Amino acid sequence: MGAQVAAAEALPSPGQYGFDWLKPETTRCVAIKPALIARFKHCSPADVSKAFGLDFPGRACRVSPQSEYMVYATRKQCQEALETMQANAP
C-alpha cells in the first residue's frame, strides 16, 4: 500500500500545465486533465534548474518511450519552460 500512496503523490493534479518535451517542434502547453493523467506510466520530480535554468519545480511524466510530459503548476511556468527549451534546442 505504501508504494501506491507514493505513486499517487507523484502524479500531477488536474489543472496544472505541461508539454511533451520529446516533441519540441510540435508541442505546446496543455491543461493536464484526468484522461492525460491516466496515460502517465510514471512521474517524478524534475530538476528544471539543471534542465532549463528555471527557478520553479517541475515534474516529468512518462507516457511512452516516445512521449514524456514536463508538468508545471501554472500555464505561465509551462510556457516559460517550453520557450526556454525551444530557444536552447540544437
Render pLDDT for 4-32 as a digit per residue (tens, 0 to 9).
Answer: 434 445 789 899 999 998 987 778 999 99
| pLDDT bracket for residue 69 (50, 70, 90) | very high
Residue 31 Ramachandran class (φ > 0 left, ψ -120 to 50 alpha, else beta): beta
Locate cell 511524466: which residue? 61
Q: Pick 20 or 52 by higher pLDDT.
A: 20
For the segment 77-90, what is each residue's pLDDT rounded down to a tens digit? 999 999 988 887 76
Helices (H), 1-90: 2-10, 34-39, 48-51, 75-87
Q: What's the predicted TM-score (pTM) here?
A: 0.82
What separation in angstroms does the CA of 37 have from each of 81, 82, 87? 20, 19, 27
At residue 7, the pLDDT reads: 46
Per-residue pLDDT band for 55 (boundaries 50, 70, 90) equals confident
Q: What is the pLDDT of residue 2?
A: 40
Strand order in the sheet with 17-20: 30-31, 17-20, 67-72, 58-64, 42-46
